Amino acid sequence: TIPFIPAQDTEFIDIAGSSIGGYHIVKLLGVGAFSRVYLASNPQGKLVAIKTIQKGKLLDDPRVRSSIEREVGILNYIDHPNIVHLEATLETEQMMCIVLEYVEGGELFDCVQQMHHQLSLTHTSVDETLVKTLFLQLLHAVRYLHEHNIVHRDLKLENILIHKQSDQEILKITDFGLARVVDPESPLLVTRCGSEEYAAPEIVQQQDYDGRKTDTWALGIILYSLLVGYLPFRYDRRKGERVSQLFYRIVRAEVKWPQDCVISTEAKQVVQAILERDPAKRISLSDIQNLGWFH
């Protein structure tokens, strides 16, 4: 097998201030495993985000090129208000670029942390109505993806962006780097991927899995985090815990709520129905909205 060599930092040239294909690069926005995302302005002066993947060693691996092409192909095929919009693609000698709609509020990850930090300072409980509106946007976007036979496979707080539109919080799912088109007749996948904390029990147990069921599980992890402020299944690397301990917790799927918990029973029921260890018994995305929390 071909070793997977991530682009070294030493190869990285800061491109802020320069221009690519008529886009003026303003500053670095975020860094992913294999990419760097920049804020840029398009020829009309509108702000965009440009996800750049350095060529060089990385793109010598044909799997990397095909994975970028797949990401672009999927983004090009979909159109949903809660999914980041593809504007264009560019390729230079040094990199491949995916030009995306710019979402200015940053990652939901930081937003959840700030929100819960603020709540703990003021001894107030989480606004479930807000959590519900945010979660419904994700639910609609992922239902849309699955209806188009696309599974995302990397749903997590870092891959969801947020912005405010006339006082309303709008979420946008991004990062289709691990997304796949599935055949609805034989939807099972084998490659274990995505973040460990968001992995469903069937992935942890190395079974073939239905990406729609594992996306659903990840939505349950996200909903718990929105309500509580941290992930339901964690492991503390600094305390020397191993990933196997995390996997043990996931497979048992025992969702614990904080002791001084003020979260409604109805909200907890939604999380419990989604974080069902048996994928066959796990609630379907279309049934979630029938649960009491939404009425």
* Binding-site annotation, residues for ATP: 51, 158-159, 175
Give me the residue label for tokens 């048996």.
Answer: 278
Cα distances (Å, whole numbers) of residue 36 to 25, 96, 102, 173, 174: 12, 11, 14, 17, 14
Binds 33, which of Mg ion, ligand ADP, none (CB < 5 to 8 A, cut-off by type)?
Answer: ligand ADP
Rule CB under 5 A: is residue 21 a binding residue for Mg ion? no
Report the residue number whose CB is nearest to ligand ADP.
Answer: 32
Give the shortest CB-112-to-ligand ADP separation in angstroms: 14
203 with 175: CB under 8 angstroms?
no
Report the residue number whose CB is nearest to Mg ion.
Answer: 175
Binds 84, which of Mg ion, ligand ADP, none (CB < 5 to 8 A, cut-off by type)?
Answer: ligand ADP
Distance CA 184, CA 253 (A): 27
Task: Pick one of 21, 24, 30, 180: the residue that binds ligand ADP (CB under 6 A).
Answer: 30
Rule CB under 6 A: is residue 51 a binding residue for ligand ADP? yes
Active site residue 215: no
Binds 35, which of Mg ion, ligand ADP, none (CB < 5 to 8 A, cut-off by type)?
Answer: ligand ADP
Rule CB under 6 A: is residue 165 a binding residue for ligand ADP? no
Where along the sequence are the contacts to Mg ion (CB under 5 A)? 32, 159, 175
Report the catalytic residues. 154
